[in-house]
Amino acid sequence: MYHTKKIGVFISHIFGHYQKNVCQGIIDKASEYGYTAEIFTSLDGENLGTYGIGEESILRVPNYDSMDGIIFASESYPSDELKQKILTQLQTLCTCPIVEIAVNNYHFPTVSIENSTTTGELTEHLIQVHHYKRICYLGCSEEPFFSEKRESFYKEALNKHQHTIGAYDICNSDYSYEGVLTALRFFCTEGTPDAVVCYNDRMALAFMEVALSEGYRIPEDIAITGCDDTQEGQYMSPMLTTVSFPVYELGTTAVENLVSKIQGNDIAPITTIAAKPVIHNSCGCHNSENKNSVFFTQKLSREITTLENSILDSMNMSAALQHVTDIDDGIELLEQYILKIEHCREFYLCLYSDWDSVSSHIMTLADSLEELPSEDSISLKLALKNGKRLPECSYQKKYLLPEYIYENSDYAYIYTPLFFEDKEFGYIALAYENNKINYHFQLIQWQMNINQMLQSIREAKCTGMLVSKLEELYMRDSLTGLLNKHGYNQRESLLLEQAISQKQSICAFLMDMNGLKYINDNYGHNEGDFAIQVLGHALESSIGKDDICARFSGDEFYMLSVGRNENNAKELIEQIQEYLENYNKLSSKEYPISCSCGFACAMPDSTYTSENIQELYAIADKMMYEQKATYHTLRRR
């Protein structure tokens, strides 16, 4: 049964080692207290250009009224702008307790890891246990805040033991081979150092690679220490002496503090989780047996294969979705790929009611009115649970998922926004088997493919509206709204085919307004245009649904009808004349509106062509001019 008590989590880059383990700690500990976690994640700071504008659409997803508490992993956000917007929303819209995970610049009671002081502890270990005299520090120029903090504890340990820090004992580098090689040569300016304390494991492994390439032995010639206890360091030979990185405990402690605050208890402004030195062999100790690197090599090989397959899958997915213009077709294709997500037990694609709305500019160009959808409604377009497709449905936005899903689930959900540039589409909800996060970077590629598909569908809708408008302009007479010559010509052959296949008669009508020149000369061309419009309305109100009526030019109208005989044709003309007579009785205009009409009917066979229809119009034209002559005779009287 899905827990009614919820803890919301804001975190960026959930596929990262740090983020996944923090979230796993939150999920596991929350469950112990009877809460479920709802994780809202984004992918900011990845230099995606204008595409990344929409990252802030994560702000539209949460429903704060349903949450009992919030955990804000603020330092996981590379983008200060997005972090600030989330902070502002939490401060203004959220009334529940909030706990932050941060080392500095925090705004709520915070939980953090203290793994900088351990740099001093490692330095002391090198002094007291190994009696090294010259110990250098290799910092990171790409992460100066944390690097300088760890450097300060290195200096403090040296000063404590009266070790002098030489001019060539501290250097900062990036992670490149060239940068680290420059640092090694800098340290060796006045002889080879006994040991090098590195900013983190990544820097330590880079330094180890460079030192070994230059012919130095580790630790016999230069001892090395790292920080953060990565798996790569554990499988090196010698194993890397480092510092623990208890990120799982970071998540569990954040939950413990939050639950305590929810229960009304006071909590400390700062809760620190202390890291500990992890002594292996790279410092000179021999208390650890080196792990067989074959396991790590095989693991890397599998990860590379998985990555290669994911790239191919992503390329195939992108190609498959590239030309999708219908959302239902896209969902059918998408389902095939979603089922490949390992250990994913639930997947939901939720779209806002206005996801495919077009801009007012396009609406104006297309001369179209689009009914504004309800902002409170969300459409569940794709729902997969335990490998089975659930039916589509709509639900109210106060729920992130339909109630029936919540009621039958005990999963924690990960929510990621769907967007393209500044257009917000909706979001994806994921849940993993046994609530064990298995979120891979591959899903980011797939998410971008989904976003591109939704944008393509939206663009196809815009294009369709504009094309329809262009077709209308090409096919329709702008004055009366009836077909023009282009529209008539396109429809004529279809109507002829219908008449032949259904063995129906075909009837051609020709209508011409009476006295248009008189109206133009005496009342102006605007009134003449108005009179033409009235005649157009008279024709449109009288014809059948399959009939073709067109204004070619001036005051001449052509009409083609099926299924009429001579009597029916006369009745149609009488209807048109009756419409105009009724109009003239009610009109305040100083001039009457009337027309002359002619028609000709025939029973077409398979040899009948457009030329034959033109012959009918010639007969109708003759009849029409006979009527017009009668009209002029009566006027002269």
What is the pLDDT, as a whole number, of residue 258? 97
Separation of alpha carbons 615 and 621, rounded Å: 10
- % helix / strand / coil in the chain, to the nearest 5? 50, 20, 30
The three-state secondary structure class of 375 is coil
Q: What pLDDT does 488 receive?
A: 93
Report the CATH architecture of 485-636: 2-Layer Sandwich (3.30)
Query: What's the confidence (pLDDT) of residue 4?
Result: 73
Is it true that 6-108+310-462 and 485-636 share their CATH fold? no
Interatomic CA distance for residues 229 and 250, integer angstroms:
15
DSSP string, 379-426: EEEEEEETTEEEPPEEEETTSSS-HHHHHT----EEEEEEEETTEEEE
- Say if residue 1's pLDDT is above 50: no
Q: What pTM was computed for the model? A: 0.75
Mean pLDDT of 112-128: 93
Sign of CA dihedral 29, 31, 35, 40: positive
Q: What is the pLDDT of residues 518-560, one digit of tens each?
A: 999 999 999 999 999 999 999 999 988 889 999 988 899 999 9
| Second-level CATH architecture of 116-227 | 3-Layer(aba) Sandwich (3.40)
Residue type present at position 242: T
Residue 341's pLDDT is 87
- Residue 200, pLDDT above cutoff 50: yes
The answer to whether 334 touches 384, Cβ cutoff 8 Å, is: no
Of 36-45, 130-139, 386-395, 450-459, minimum mean pLDDT range: 36-45
**Euclidean distance between CA atoms 313 and 307, whole angstroms:** 10
Q: What is the mean pLDDT of residues 402-415?
A: 86
- Bridge partners of residue 511, in order along the sequence: 557, 597
196, pLDDT greater than 60: yes
What pLDDT band is residue 364 in, cutting at 50, 70 and 90? low
Angle 566-586/525-542 helices, nearest 10 degrees?
140
From 156-170, 364-378, 422-436, the region with the lowest mean pLDDT: 364-378
pLDDT digits (tens, 9 = 90+) for 552-593: 888 999 999 999 999 999 999 999 999 999 999 999 999 999
Q: Residue 499 is encoded by which pair of tokens?
A: 């008449």
Distance separating alpha carbons of residues 259 and 252, to the nearest angstrom: 11
Please report which confidence band the pLDDT of residue 292 belongs to, taking 50, 70 and 90 as the band edges: low
* Residue 244: per-residue pLDDT: 92
Domain definitions of the chain by residue range: 6-108+310-462, 116-227, 485-636
Percentage of the residues of the chain whose pLDDT score is greater than 90: 65
The architecture that CATH gives domain 6-108+310-462 is 3-Layer(aba) Sandwich (3.40)
Say if CB 5 and CB 69 are below 8 A apart: no
